[in-house]
């Protein structure tokens, strides 16, 4: 059973332990996509009953994109049967064990960037430290956006600190394209589109962002809203 820990389509956090329990009851292995959560959202592979986790060098690790990795028991890796030459994880594992080399041209620059990113993660206090900063960013964002009249899409009980979806304002004249462009003119760039049917947009709160960055965003949003409602002339 494949599970996504944090859904960047909406910002929903899925309950890994409960879902892994369902997989075990069904006799399935539990494979977790932690691309958007690894490094800032703690979970326990053994305690939660997770069989394999895949993540990447960017997102919450704050490296650059270009390499992914898998955490799984060796027996599970060795027993896997890939139908792709380049994505044969078991073959790559055997290659590492034999000579320590990548089977194909390695992303050396990305790996070095990841090494530095992991050093900086440790300096920030590890997963707990980074999670605290992202949580503060998220709470500051949601509080400010609600004061400006925006409503969140996801219930607080299921909301991540990674990314937050907001409904469009009730104003029928609201245009997200105009909203996006006016924010960009103020040097604020948010996600350019949505992945749900609901009329909403998303704002991320991860990466090298701090309270002053969230405040700058909120100031820009307030400015755009005022400029839309200001009388002509």
pLDDT tens-digit readout, 34-92: 999 999 999 999 888 999 999 999 999 999 999 999 999 988 888 887 888 888 999 99
Measured in degrees and rounded to the nearest 5, phi and psi for residue 200 equal -150, 170
Among residues 71, 105, 123, which one ends one of the domains?
Answer: 123
Query: What's CA 206's distance to the chain center, in Å?
Result: 8
Among residues 99, 123, 147, which one ends one of the domains?
Answer: 123
Q: Are 119 and 142 members of one domain?
A: no
Q: Are 86 and 107 members of one domain?
A: yes
- Read off the pLDDT of residues 150-196 as tens digits, 9 standing for 90 and up: 999 999 999 999 999 999 999 888 999 999 999 999 999 999 877 78
Count H helices and E strands in the chain, helices first.
8, 6
Q: Are 76 and 160 members of one domain?
A: no
Q: Quick one: pLDDT at residue 231?
A: 55
Q: Are 71 and 9 members of one domain?
A: yes
Q: Domain limits at 118?
A: 2-123
Among residues 123, 147, 164, which one ends one of the domains?
Answer: 123
Q: Is the pTM of this model over 0.85?
A: yes
Q: How is the beta sheet containing 52-56 ordered, strand by strand?
A: 2-4, 31-33, 52-56, 68-71
Q: Are 98 and 156 members of one domain?
A: no
């Amino acid at each position: 059973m494949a599970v996504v820990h944090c859904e960047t389509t909406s910002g929903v956090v899925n309950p890994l332990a409960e879902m892994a329990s369902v997989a075990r009851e069904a006799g399935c292995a539990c494979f977790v996509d932690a691309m958007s959560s690894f490094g800032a959202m703690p979970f326990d592979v053994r305690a939660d009953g997770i069989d394999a986790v895949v993540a990447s060098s960017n997102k919450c690790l704050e490296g650059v994109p270009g390499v992914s990795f898998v955490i799984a028991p060796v027996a599970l890796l060795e027993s896997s049967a890939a139908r792709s030459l380049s994505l044969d994880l078991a073959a790559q594992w055997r290659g590492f064990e034999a000579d320590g080399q990548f089977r194909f041209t390695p992303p050396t620059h990305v790996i070095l960037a990841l090494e530095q990113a992991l050093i900086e993660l440790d300096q920030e206090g590890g997963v707990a430290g980074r999670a605290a900063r992202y949580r503060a960013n998220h709470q500051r964002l949601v509080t400010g956006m609600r004061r400006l009249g925006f409503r969140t899409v996801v219930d607080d009980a299921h909301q991540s600190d990674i990314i937050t979806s907001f409904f469009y304002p009730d104003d029928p004249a609201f245009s997200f394209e105009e909203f996006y462009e006016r924010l960009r003119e103020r040097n604020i760039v948010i996600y350019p589109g949505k992945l749900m049917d609901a009329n909403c947009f998303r704002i991320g709160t991860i990466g090298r962002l701090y309270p002053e960055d969230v405040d700058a965003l909120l100031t820009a949003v307030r400015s755009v809203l005022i400029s839309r409602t200001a009388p002509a002339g």
